[in-house]
Amino acid sequence: DAKTTQPPSMDCAEGRAANLPCNHSTISGNEYVYWYRQIHSQGPQYIIHGLKNNETNEMASLIITEDRKSSTLILPHATLRDTAVYYCIVESNFGNEKLTFGTGTRLTIIP
Amino acid sequence: GAVVSQHPSRVICKSGTSVKIECRSLDFQATTMFWYRQFPKQSLMLMATSNEGSKATYEQGVEKDKFLINHASLTLSTLTVTSAHPEDSSFYICSASPSSQGPRSYNSPLHFGNGTRLTVT
């Protein structure tokens, strides 16, 4: 079962920051937070992941609350190509490596 | 970055025939690959874990005799849908990690192929 809760859909204006929330209140100490996105008819694309600290890469920033029960993915300047379903996944980094996908958030970037 | 390639990207077959889908890790080796299935407007569902040199591990409810998995090398896993039926029509996606030989390193997340859309007529 998915261990995360995400809003089913969100809209964001092109050029603005898209902030996608995720609740993972039952996360355990050895579980990471992973974000993937899936553009229509393609395989999921890895975006970013983190354990405790905030992370940033060329695609996005990940903000994890101090208690680790929630996180926010930030796309700083959304473009139309960022329209996709975004999945927040928590998973241990040891042993079993499979990822369990929830229903994700369908992000639509509005021109 | 790590690249996972799937072939074919799209296939149409007649009911009762078998279809083979290939998943390759192009620039890394993976002892473990994962096969997912996605029906329209639904999320990805894990079907099985493919283990190089040994039998695949299937998720509950997935018929191992219908979905044959072969992981003959460290860079190739195949999924064969046998005696396909229209209800098997779906989007099949594989994934692998460069660190699939043990605990995943912090910088080696799972990477996914671009999927195979199977239509059974």
Of A54-68, A69-83, B104-118, give the lowest mean pLDDT range: B104-118
Q: Is the pLDDT of residue B78 over 60?
A: yes
Residue matched to tokens 């692998």: B96
Q: Is the pLDDT of residue A76 over 50?
A: yes
- The average pLDDT across A72-96 equals 89
Percent of chain B with pLDDT over 90: 72
* A108: number of Cβ within 10 Å: 14
- The average pLDDT across B92-119 equals 78
Residue in A with minimal Cα distance to B105: A93
Full DSSP string of A1-70: ----B--SEEEEETTSPEEEEEE-TT--TTEEEEEEEE-TTS--EEEEEESSS-EE-SS-EEEE-TTSSE
Cis preceding linkage at A7, omega within 30: no
Residue-level pLDDT at B72:
84
How close is the nearest chain B Cα to the Cα of A13, in Å? 24
Cβ–Cβ below 8 Å for B6 and A94? no
Q: Which of A36, A45, A98 minimises the CB distance to B34?
A: A98
- The average pLDDT across B78-86 equals 97
Residue B19 or A96, more confident: B19
- The average pLDDT across B25-43 equals 92
Residue-level pLDDT at A95:
46
Q: Which of A46, A98, A104 minimises the CB distance to B43?
A: A104
pLDDT band at B109 (very low <50, low <70, confident <90, very high): confident
Q: Which of A46, A40, A81 is nearest to B117 (CA)?
A: A40
| B72 inside 8 A of chain A by CB | no
Of A18-22, A26-30, A41-45, B81-85, give the lowest mean pLDDT range: A26-30
A101, A89 in Cβ contact below 8 A?
A: yes
Cβ–Cβ below 8 Å for A102 and B46? no
| Per-chain mean pLDDT for chain B | 90
Q: In this structure, what token pair is assigned to residue A24? A: 């993972």
Q: Identify from A97, A99, A105, A106 which residue to disrupt to test chain B contact, counting B C-beta atoms within 10 A and taking the largest count.
A: A97
Residue-level pLDDT at B56:
93
Look up residue A98 and give its amino acid. Answer: K
